[in-house]
């Protein structure tokens, strides 16, 4: 998997560039032909978000620039779990609905009740810690 990190902060850009290979390897995405662009920018309301770009067969991850380095790294690991979920076909979006392993989830589903979020939260800390230890 190829990646590009875009940031005004040289420190965050270099940090993300250093940990991305480990995150990609841990998630089994090394051989993926998909690409991911990580943007540290004020384009999301929360901590981060992942947007699939079907035309380019890639993903854009946006990380809130106000986050401290550790929070930003955890958020990156969390969002990369979503990249894996989408790349492997576990998580799909169609007609405004999300599908997890074929089951449809509506907009009334609470954030922490969404199985793809539970999966990402369960993995983010371990992935991040392993990435900074390498």
28, pLDDT greater than 90: yes
Give the pLDDT score at 27.
Answer: 98
Position 33 confidence tier, pLDDT thresholds 50, 70, 90: very high
Fold entry, domain 2-133: Collagenase (Catalytic Domain) (3.40.390)
Q: Are strands 35-40 and 58-63 parallel, antiparallel or unpaired?
A: parallel
- The model's pTM is 0.95
CB burial readout 46-55, b (16+ within 10 A) else e: ebbbbbbeee
| H, E, C per residue of 52-81 | EEHHHCEEEEEECCCCCHHHHHHHHHHHHH
8-state DSSP, 29: -
């Amino acid at each position: 998997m190829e990646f590009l990190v875009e940031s005004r902060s040289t420190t965050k850009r270099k940090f993300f560039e250093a940990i991305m290979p480990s995150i990609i390897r841990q998630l089994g995405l090394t051989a993926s032909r998909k690409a991911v662009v990580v943007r540290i920018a004020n384009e999301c309301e929360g901590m981060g978000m992942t947007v699939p770009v079907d035309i380019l067969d890639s993903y854009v991850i946006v990380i809130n620039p106000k986050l401290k380095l550790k929070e930003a790294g955890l958020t990156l690991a969390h969002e990369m779990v979503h990249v894996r979920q989408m790349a492997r076909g576990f998580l799909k979006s169609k007609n405004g609905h999300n599908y997890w392993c074929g089951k449809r989830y509506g907009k009334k589903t609470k954030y922490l009740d969404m199985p793809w979020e539970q999966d990402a939260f369960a993995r983010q800390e371990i992935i991040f810690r392993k990435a900074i230890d390498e």
